[in-house]
Amino acid sequence: MVLEIVRYVGMVMAAHVIGRRIDQVGARPYMLASLALYMGLAGYWLVRLQGVWDGHAGLVATYIVLGLAGTCWAVGNANYLPKVASSQDQTLMLALHGASTALVGGLSTLGWGWLLRPAAGQVGIEHTGFMVLFGCVLVGAAWVSCWLARRPEPEADAAEPLMVVNTVLRPWRAAIYLINLADAVPRVTVAEIKPAPIETARPE
C-alpha cells in the first residue's frame, strides 16, 4: 500500500514537471524519457536480483521512477495519437489503441505469471525467469526507443490532445486500495443482535 502511494507521488511529480511544456517540445521527448526510465528500472532490478543495492531506499526510488515513467508515457500518448490520426479516425484509433494495449497487457501478465511460477513445493517467484522478464523489458524498451526516434511528429498545434479517461481515473486506484483495507462494516456483539419480529399471516 505504501509503495503504491509512493508511485502516485511520482505520477504527480511528473504531471507537475510536464505541465504545458509538452505543447512546446512535443510528445515524443516525453515518450522517449519514459522508455529510458523503464530501461533504468529494468537494469536496476537485474542488479538488485544479484543481491546488490538491496534495501528499502532503492525500492522506494523504484516506485517513484515507475510513477514518473507511467505518467510521461500516458501523457505522451494522449498528445501524440491525435497528431498521427485524422479527425475522422481519432475515436477509432483511440479505441483500437486502448483495446490492443489492454489485450496485450492482460495476456502478457498471464504468460509471465505462468513462466514465473515456482517449482512444486516452493513459494515465491522463479529467480531466473524473473531476470529474463527484466531483460526483455530492457531490450524491448531499447527497440521501441530506436523505432520511436525515427517516427515523424507533426507540429504541436496540429491537433488537440485527447482526454484519455483511464489516464485521468488511474490515480484514484490508490484511494481504492486504501478503502479496501478499511473495515467499513461496524463490529457488533451477539448481545446487540436483535431478532426480527416474525409476522404471521392473518385470515381475511
Q: Per the domain annotation, does 13 fall within a domain?
A: yes
Please report the pLDDT score of residue 181 as a whole number: 47
DSSP 200: P
Distance CA 153, CA 174 (A): 34
Give the pLDDT score at 183. 47
Do residues 129 and 115 touch, judged by C-beta distance below 8 A? yes
Indicate left, alpha or beta for 55 from its phi (over 0: left) and psi (-120 to 50: alpha).
left
Q: Residue 196 falls within a domain, yes or no?
A: no
Residue 104 phi/psi, 5° resolution?
A: -65, -40
Domain membership of residue 96 (yes or no) is no
Report pLDDT for 151.
82
Give the burial class of 170: count Cβ atoms within 10 A of its Cβ; 0-12 exposed, 13-18 middle, 19 or more buried: middle
Query: How do residues 158-184 score in pLDDT, each as one tens digit?
Result: 455 555 444 444 544 444 444 454 444
Q: Is residue 17 part of a domain?
A: yes
Q: What is the pLDDT of residue 167?
A: 47
Q: Is the dihedral of CA 49, 54, 58, 63 positive or negative?
A: positive
Burial class (CB in 10 A: 0-12, 13-18, 19+), 40: middle
Task: Tell me, yes or no, whether 98 lies in a domain.
Answer: no
- Number of structural domains, the chain? 1
- Residue 160: what pLDDT? 55
pLDDT per residue over 27-71, tens digit each?
A: 888 899 999 999 999 999 999 888 777 778 888 888 899 889 988
Q: Cell 510513477 identifies what position? A: 67
Share of residues in the chain with pLDDT > 70 (%): 75
Task: Compute the average pLDDT of residues 128-138.
Answer: 89
Residue type, 112: W
Its domain, for residue 47, covers 2-88+127-183
Using CA atoms, how far apart are residues 133 and 116, in angstroms rounded to an integer? 9
Return the C-alpha cell found at 147: 523505432
In a domain, 162, yes or no: yes
pTM: predicted TM-score of the whole model, two decimal places: 0.71
Listed residue (58, 60, 73, 83) closest to 15, CA to CA: 73
**Quick one: pLDDT at residue 184?**
45
Q: Judge whether 66 lies within some domain.
A: yes
**Given a cut of 60, is residue 188 above it in pLDDT?**
no
DSSP H or E stretch at residue 173: helix 172-181
Q: What is the structure's pLDDT at 198?
A: 54
Mean pLDDT of 88-99: 79
Query: Which residue has better confidence, 126 or 143?
Result: 143
Q: Any idea which of 75-89, 132-146, 182-196 has the lowest mean pLDDT?
A: 182-196
3-state secondary structure 8-59: HHHHHHHHHHHCCHHHHHCCHHHHHHHHHHHHHHHHHHHHHCCCCCCCHHHH
Average pLDDT over the chain reads 76
